[in-house]
Amino acid sequence: MIFSRRAIQERLNLLRQHLKSDEVENFAKRLNKVGRSRLSAMWEVIIISSLLRTGRVDIEQELSNGRRPDILFDDGKGLAFFADITCVSDEGLDKENPIEFFNERLMETVSKLGLPLGGHAGRVESKRVTTSRGQKVVLRLPAYSDIPKFISERIEPKLKAPLRPGERYIRISIDDEQAGLSLIIDTVGGQFNSFGCTSYDRPSIVDRNPLFNALRAKYKQLKAAEGIKGIIVCDGDSKVLSSRNAHNVEDACLVCNEFFRQHSSIDFILIISVDERRKSPLDFRSVYRVVNAKMASRNEFSQLKEIERIFDLVLKDFPKPLNSPVNAAHRAQESGYGLGHRGGYRMSGRKIRLSSKAVMEVLSGRKSIDEFNSDYEWNGNSPDFRIPNPFERNLDEGRLPVKVTIEAGDDDDWIEFEFGDKDVAISEFY
C-alpha cells in the first residue's frame, strides 16, 4: 500500500460512522484481496474519508441509466458534484514491453549457470509501430509468454559457450525480427548491473494511452449524472502521472485537454500522484514521499475555484505516504501484511531495538530461531565477520532484560530491550 495499513484502517473506522456497514465491508474485502485492484480500493477509502470531513458523501447513487458513480458530494453550502475515482497504471504497457520480466529471467539463468549476479550491462532497442491513430514506441523483445523460451534458446547457449584464454566478458548481440538487444556479462562480477531501454510509457498517441483510456471509461460512468461532474485520477504506478519530470506534467495536460475536447460534459479532472524526494541530492537514505495534485478543467467551467477549495482541504487531510506507487503496486500482489521493520535493528550499549512483528513471529513459533538469525544476519558462518545473536550473548553473560520499551511506528513498532547487570538468577555467584 502507498499509505500505512494502520492509517487505512483508521479511515475505514471513520467511514463506518457515515456509510452503510455493507459498503464499508465491501471496501475491506477489496483491500484484503491480493492484486493491483487493492490500490483502487485504497485510494477510494482515503479520498472519500477526507471528503467526509468537508461535507456529505453518498456513494454509488444509481443514475437514470443504471450507472453508479463513486461519489455524490455536497458541502452544504450550495456546492455539489458527482465524481468517479480511477487508478491508472502502466501495467498494460509493461506487459507489452516485458523488460522487467526479461531481466528477472535473465538473472535467474545467470545464477543457475554459476555466474556472478553483478557487473552486467545491457540495452534493449525499440521500434516505432504505426497504428490507425499514430505511432507508438515498442521494445524489441519477444512477447511476455515467449521470454523464457527466448532466453533458453537464444541466450543461455551463449552463456554456456567457453571463453577464449584471458577473456572476461560474454558479449551477446541479437538484431533480428525476434529481438534487438545487446548484453555484456562479466564472468568475474561487479557491484552493480546496468540495463537500459528507450522510454515506452510516454503517451505518443494523445487519445490512446492508459490515462485517456481510464478517463474515457469514467466518462461513461458519469454520462447520465446531472450537475457538476469530475474524474479523480490516482497513481497506481503510471509514469505520466508523476510530477518529477516536466515531460510527464506536459503529457498529462495534453491528454486532459484532448479529453475535454472530446467529452465536454465533464467539468474537471483531478490527478493525484505520489513522488519520491530526497532531503539532500546525495543522501539516498533521506528519501521521503509527497502527495502531488494537478487540477484541470474545461474552459467554460465557472466553479473551478470552489472545487479547488474543497480538494485543497481533502489533500491536506491525507495521511503520510510510506511507499512509492511502483513499490505499492508490487506489494499489492503479495500476500501477507508487509515486512515492517523485519531485518532492521539497532544496538547501543546494553540496548537492542528490533521489529515487534519479528519478535511475535519467533515467540509464536511461526519462525524458527535459525530463520530469525538469518533475517538479521546473526550467528553467520563467515569467520571474518560474524555478529552473534545479541539475546544469546546477553544470556551467556548472565544478563536479563530490565526494561522493555515500545516505540510506535506506521506499519510496525520497535521493541527495545535493555539488559541489566549480571544476574545470579541465571549465572554463577561472583
In 3D space, the residue among 220, 209, 142, 131 whose CA is nearest the CA of residue 177 turns out to be: 142
pLDDT tens, residue order, the chain (430 aa): 999 999 999 999 999 999 999 999 999 999 999 999 999 999 999 999 999 999 999 999 999 999 999 999 999 999 999 999 999 999 888 889 999 999 999 999 999 999 998 889 999 999 988 776 777 889 999 999 999 999 999 999 999 999 888 899 999 999 999 999 999 999 998 888 888 988 888 777 888 889 999 999 999 999 999 999 999 999 999 988 876 665 666 788 999 999 999 999 999 999 999 988 887 766 666 788 999 999 999 998 999 999 999 999 999 999 999 999 999 998 899 888 887 887 889 999 999 999 999 999 999 999 999 999 998 989 877 666 678 999 999 999 999 999 999 999 889 999 999 999 999 999 999 8
In 3D space, the residue among 228, 213, 360 whose CA is nearest the CA of residue 301 turns out to be: 228
Distances from the Cα of 17 to the Cα of 20, 28, 191, 223, 237, angstroms: 8, 15, 53, 30, 31
Amino acid at 201: D
Q: Which residue has the cell 550473548?
A: 393
Amino acid at 183: L
CB under 8 Å to 238, separation ≥6 — which residues?
88, 89, 90, 201, 210, 211, 325
Taking a C-beta distance cutoff of 8 angstroms, is the pair 412, 340 a contact? yes
In 3D space, the residue among 391, 375, 386 whose CA is nearest the CA of residue 341 turns out to be: 375
Sheet holding 80-88, edge to edge: 56-59, 71-74, 80-88, 228-235, 268-278, 287-297
Burial classification of residue 346, based on how many CB atoms lie within 10 Å of its CB (0-12 exposed, 13-18 middle, 19 or more buried): exposed
Instruction: Dig out the grid coordinates for 142 from the structure.
Output: 519477444
Burial classification of residue 123, based on how many CB atoms lie within 10 Å of its CB (0-12 exposed, 13-18 middle, 19 or more buried): middle
Q: Tell me the C-alpha distance between 218 and 67, whole Å.
A: 10
* pLDDT value, residue 244: 61
